[in-house]
Amino acid sequence: REAPVLLLVTSVPGAGPLLDGLGLLLRSPERGRVFQLSPFNAGEVADYLHSRLGMPVEGESLDRIVATSGGYPVLLSSLVDQLRMGDPATTMTAALRRMASHTVGSEVLGEHVAAVLTGARPSERAALVALAQASELSLGQLGEVLRLRDLPDLRLDLLLAGGLVDRNGSRLRMRHRLVQRDLLDQVPWAEARAGHAALAQILSGLQALEHRVAVADATTAPAVLATVRGLLDEAHAQGDLSHAFRVAELGVALDPQLLAEAVLATLRAGRPARILDLEDHLHNLPASAARTAAIAILELERAGVQPAAHRLLRLDANLVPVSPDLLIHALAVLQVATEAAVQNESHLIPPFAPLIEVLRVRATETDDEALAEELGLIAVSLEMLHLANDPALSAAERLTAVADLSTRATAQGIARLGGPLARVMTALTDYLAGNLAAARSSMAGP
Residue 297 predicted with pLDDT over 60: yes
pLDDT at 97: 53
Whether the per-residue pLDDT at 101 is higher than 60: the answer is no
Return d(Cα 346, Cα 389) in angstroms, integer.
Answer: 6
Query: What's residue 27's pLDDT?
Result: 64
Q: Which of 173, 184, 179 is nearest to 78 (CA)?
A: 179
pLDDT at 345: 87
Burial class (CB in 10 A: 0-12, 13-18, 19+), 27: exposed
Nearest Cα neighbor of 277 from 252, 257, 254, 310 is 252
Q: In this predicted model, what pLDDT tens digit does every residue of 23-59 receive, in sequence order? A: 666 666 566 677 777 789 999 999 998 888 888 888 8
Q: What is the average per-residue pLDDT within 298-321?
A: 87
How many helices (H) does the chain have, and how many strands (E)?
23, 3
pLDDT in tens, 198-225: 999 999 988 999 999 999 988 999 999 9
Task: Name residue 168's beta-bridge partners.
Answer: 171
- Give the pLDDT confidence score for residue 147 in this predicted structure: 94
Q: Is the pTM of this model over 0.85?
A: no
Confidence at 106, pLDDT banded by 50, 70, 90: very low
- Residues paired with 218 in a beta bridge: none
Compute the average pLDDT of residues 355-367.
87
Is the pLDDT reported for residue 395 higher than 50?
Answer: yes
* pLDDT reported for residue 290: 83
